[in-house]
Structure 1
Amino acid sequence: MGQSTKAENRVTDKLSDVAIRKAKPKEKPYKLSDGKGLRLIVNPNGTKWWRFYYQFGGKEKTLSFGTYPEVTLSEAREKRNVTRKMVANGVDPGVERKEQKVEATNTFEHVARCWVEKAKVVWTPNYAEHVVRRLELNIFPALGELPINHITAQQLLSALKIIESRGAVETAHRMLTLCGQIFRHAIASGFCESNPAANLKGALGPVVKRHYPAITKPNELGELLRAIDGYQGTFVVKCALRIAPLVFVRPGELRKAEWSEIDFEAALWTIPASKMKMRREHLVPLSRQSLAILKELYPFTGTGKYIFPNPRTADRPLSDNAILAALRRMGFDKEIVTGHGFRASARTILDEVLGFRPDYIEHQLAHGVRDPNGRAYNRTAHLVQRTTMMQKWADYLDALKYGAKVFPFPKTGTADE
């Protein structure tokens, strides 16, 4: 049985727009009644608020409908009529409104953005922006407005299948991982009680592992190095191209390199954790060849922040497409080599041709290598051996470039010590 309003049988629609506009403020708030619970409160400061008075569970309650004229007289009456029906059907409109407000702040998009804000303290700004953009493109259109505690595994799978149907299978898997992290955050924060992503293992098609195109044959790598030496573009881009295979860091780490990170005396480049994918400071020993390139470039960009500044503004680094575009102009298409491919070239040749220990190589690639006890190695692990490796790698590249006959180092001995 439903509840009742306080003014169940009173005359309604007693107010008019003219009467409301003429209502002047007084020293104290006063009420103008429209009937059946709807009243307009006129405050001393001139604001006029709609209030609906009703009884529920033996208690008199009120509900705000907003201010006049933002909420017109006819709109206020419509709200009153809808709300009276709720009361008659045993629904407390005040409680219902509170639940709606909670659900509005518990949408998947709201919770996801809260999770990103929390995670940003350990992410780079670019990565945080990348995550948000991916969610905006792939997940928010389907699930963003839904209360996170109402989302089922089937609804999440449907959103992921849309991504998969575009041929973006790897993206679908990445979004499943992201959604799983968001749901775990939501559970810890009290927004929901279960993680539907956990039930979707194996529900998506397999990812075909793709590797960055890279040159791993020594004679072909020599051709690329000679082409770089003959590059006719800007001097800054040419220097970036020349040093990229020597240090084989990730493209973003190279183009954002700063002069303050270079220690010429120690022949060391220290990349701060904030720029690294693994969020750990990384040390790059600089060979004589790398130092020579930096010293050659210093008179041109050394007064600024970035080693490889953007040609339009020195306050920004080279664009992420600069090295890739330069490789294309030299005739190396995307099926042959990318800026990221220098890492694969170094990894393969250092191991299979030069015979260096895989853990030295993995450390220098800034991969997540762990010690026998399962702990992450510190930044200086095997630094002496890595310094030797980086110099021999640079000498080997010089030999390739100038056409000298090169031989692999033995699997034991200097390369393995």
Structure 2
Amino acid sequence: MKLSDVTLRRVKATDKPQKFADGGGLYLYVAPTGGKLWRMDYRFEGKRKTLSFGAYPAVGLKDARARREEAKGQIAAGIDPGAHKKAAKEAARADTDSAFEIVAREWFDRQKDGWAESHAGKIMARLERDIFPVVGGRPVRDITAPMLLEALRRIESRGAVDTAHRALQTCGQVFRYAIATGRAEHNIAADLKGALPPVRGGHFASVKEPAAVGGLLRAIDAYTGNVIVRAALRIAPYVLVRPVELRRAEWAEFNLDANEWRIPATRMKMRELHIVPLARQVREILAELHQYTGGGRYLFPSMRANTATISDVTLLAALRRLGYGKDEMTVHGFRSMASTLLNEKGYNRDWIEKQLAHGERDTVRASYNFAQYLPERRKMMHEWADYLDELRGQSLSGTKV
């Protein structure tokens, strides 16, 4: 007799397993513990096998019968329904394991130890905000160029063209990792070359004309805002470091007897210990600043809490307060300002690049190269500081102020 919903609702567990048949090999297995499972016995290639369809009542009688008929159809077609179900599960699991977000996070975990914390944070934030919502759940091998371009267009639409290019670069690295791990065969990010508009400018806005640099330095000296912010702006032109490296500077990193600032590899973008020779002008500023923050960890602590540092926005706002628009000067612009003028003055390009920490990407070599060109760089940095003082003392017409 075939089963009915009424019969199924009345079924009670006993101290022994029970089977309630519905025909065609389908039956409800009732365990002593109370579990009710749909099963189907069948024969394939002369062997007796059992197929599971799920638990009652989550899988109702009607659904169980439909699955039985589907299985019978597979058997008639020469397909083992049990093997087919297992293969489908494995395929679904493979799709999950090869989802872009899973692959990207796996790639990120393998790479992040070689990056500065701030750099790693920016990469993951970019993926989570802009890429994962569009293609994160799709298997890497199924993502097409138009799909990825859709995510990039969303970034571009808010005016962040440079961010879109950086996101595309990151996606290309994820695809290459997917290929290496057997989860993709083609880097579709490479197919999008030329699909995004070029980044305008290509560099952070900065003052580069010598006379204008002098005006900027005088404006910073005249800044009447927070003394900590003023000190950060005064030091920035002399040290050539990235804004985040400057803002998070710690007193313990400075050796004034050796006239140098050693930024640990953990704080550097390239994960390489970086030495900044300190000119006399920087030491004088540090001596003044020490009166305000020397008792704490950071040179430039936040005005809200000593456990945090001032933000890039704070420094940027100070430049705006001095009258420099976003197309004229940025905090990062102090680096390009120095790079341009030092190259124009004929200093060895390798010395400049090393001092800008644009250096070695090979972490093994980098561990030995942090002091490369150090005597030359010390001389260059001291002469650079004196040159800035010279510019500070000139008017726009070139005469002394």
TM-score by length of 2: 0.84
CA 1:204–1:49: 2 relative to 1, 3 Å: farther
Cα deviation, residue 313, structure 1: 1.6
Cα distance in 2 for residues equivalent to 1:74 and 1:214? 66
With over 3 angstroms needed to count, the CA separation of the structure-2 counterparts of 1:248 and 1:80, relative to structure 1, is same
* Matching residue of 1:412: none
Equivalent position to 2:40, from 45, 50, 53: 53
Residue 254 of structure 2 corresponds to 262
CA distance in 1, matches of 2:291, 2:69: 79
SS in structure 2 of the partner of residue 192 of structure 1: coil
Q: Say whether 1:278 aligns with 2:276.
A: no
Q: Name the residue aligned to 2:78.
A: none
**Given that residues 56 and 87 in structure 1 are in contact (C-alpha distance below 8 angstroms), is that contact kept between their aligned partners in structure 2?**
no
Matched, 1:396 2:387: yes
Q: Which amino acid aligns with 2:266?
A: S
Q: CA deviation at 1:110?
A: 1.4
Alignment check: 8 A CA contact 1:40 1:51 kept: yes
Identity %: 42
Q: Which residue of 2 aligns with 1:364?
A: 355
* Per-residue CA distance 1:171-225 (angstroms, 9 max, x = gap): 3332222222111211222222332223343444444343211111222222221
2:102 to 95, 110, 114: 110
Secondary structure in 1 aligned to 2:258?
Answer: coil
The aligned counterpart of 2:323 is: 331
Give per-residue Cα distances to partners, 1:274-310, cap 9 Å, x unaligned: 2222222211000011112112222332232222111
Structure-1 residue corresponding to 2:374:
383
> Match of 1:80?
64
Which structure has more helix as a fraction of its residues? 2
Distance of 1:35 and 1:146 partners within structure 2: 40
CA distance in 1, matches of 2:195, 2:324: 38
Alignment TM-score, normalising by the size of structure 1:
0.81
* Aligned match of 1:65: 54
Give distance in 2, aligned partners of 1:186 and 1:291: 49
CA 1:275–1:55: 2 relative to 1, 3 Å: farther
Do the aligned residues in 2 keep the contact of 1:12 with 1:34 (CA within 8 Å)? Answer: no
* Aligned residue runs from structure 1 range 238-257, under 5 A: 238-257=230-249
What residue number does 1:348 align with? 340
User: Is this contact kept in 1: 2:281–2:385, CA < 8 A?
Assistant: yes
Instruction: Tell me: CA distance 1:187–1:290, structure 2 relative to 1, closer, same or farther (3 Å).
Output: same
| Offset, 1:35 | 3.8
CA separation in 2, counterparts of 1:39 and 1:124? 59
Q: Distance in 2 between matches of 1:15 and 1:35?
A: 11
**Alignment partner, residue 208 of structure 2:** 216
Distance 1:104 1:76 in 2: 28
How far residue 32 of structure 1 moved from its aligned partner, in angstroms, is 5.8
- AA of the residue aligned to 1:340: H
Q: Which residue of 1 aligns with 2:77?
A: none
In structure 2, the partner of 1:151 is 143
Q: Distance in 1 between matches of 2:30 and 2:89?
A: 21
Report the RMSD for the aligned CA atoms in angstroms.
Answer: 3.0
Task: Label 1:369 to 1:74 Cα distance change in 2 as closer, same or farther (>3 A).
Answer: closer
Q: How many residues align?
A: 382
Paired with 1:328 and 1:237, the residues of 2 have a C-alpha distance of: 13
Q: How far did residue 240 of structure 1 move?
A: 0.7
Cα offset for 1:162?
Answer: 4.6
User: Could you list the per-position Cα deviations for residues 96-133 of structure 1 after superposition, in whole angstroms to 9, with x for gaps in the alignment?
Assistant: 23322321232111111111112122122322222122
User: 2:270·2:357 contact (CA, 8 Å) conserved in 1?
Assistant: yes
Question: Comparing 140-149 with 165-174, which one deviates more in the overlay?
Answer: 165-174
Bigger relative contact order (CA 8 A; separation at least 6): 2
- The Cα shift of 1:149 comes to 2.2
Contact 1:50/1:76 (CA < 8 Å) preserved in 2? no
Residues in 2 aligned to 1:60 and 1:13: alpha-carbon distance in whole angstroms: 26
Q: Partner of 1:96: helix, strand, or coil?
A: helix
Q: Distance in 1 between matches of 2:360 and 2:105?
A: 31
Q: Distance in 1 between matches of 2:370 and 2:58?
A: 70
Is the partner of 1:232 in helix, strand or coil?
coil
